[in-house]
Amino acid sequence: MDEFMQAAISEAKQGREEGGIPIGSVLIKDGKIIGKGHNKRVQDGDPVTHAEIDCLRNAGRIGNYKGTTLYSTLMPCYLCAGAVVQFGIKKVIAGESKTFPGAKDFMISHGVEVVDLNLDECENMMSEFITEKPELWNEDIGN
């Protein structure tokens, strides 16, 4: 596992420690992390503070997203995939999509390269959370 996915996993763990949903994300440009974030829906009481949105906010205005890669511990949902497409991010690397399939096909249809690593660590983190707190999961993107 590369250092960038490990950083996203660290963000997810931080979110879980804060009482939130364990999803983390980092934005990479020129081989460096320029933004990182985690799902703060619970912590901030904000339904759109998904990990990828928090990450993009924390990266700030970078002017141009050409050459960036977004890492996320979970396949991005349509909200986050829309941000990826809107900002022209051309590569997304997801930790897993078994617990939630996300909007992979939507991103691909808009020219985004999507890599699903199918990491056990990411899947186990989400599976445990969904089992422990189904009401939080189902409140947003669950069934």
Residue 76: which of 31, 29, 114, 133 has the closest Cα?
Answer: 114
Q: Which of 11, 17, 18, 52 is catalytic?
A: 52
CA 24 to chain CA centroid, Å, is 5
Q: Can 52 be counted among the known catalytic residues?
A: yes
Report the distance separating Cα 1 and Cα 10, nearest Å: 13
DSSP codes, 97-123: -SS--TTHHHHHHTT-EEEE---HHHH
**Catalytic positions, written as ranges:** 52
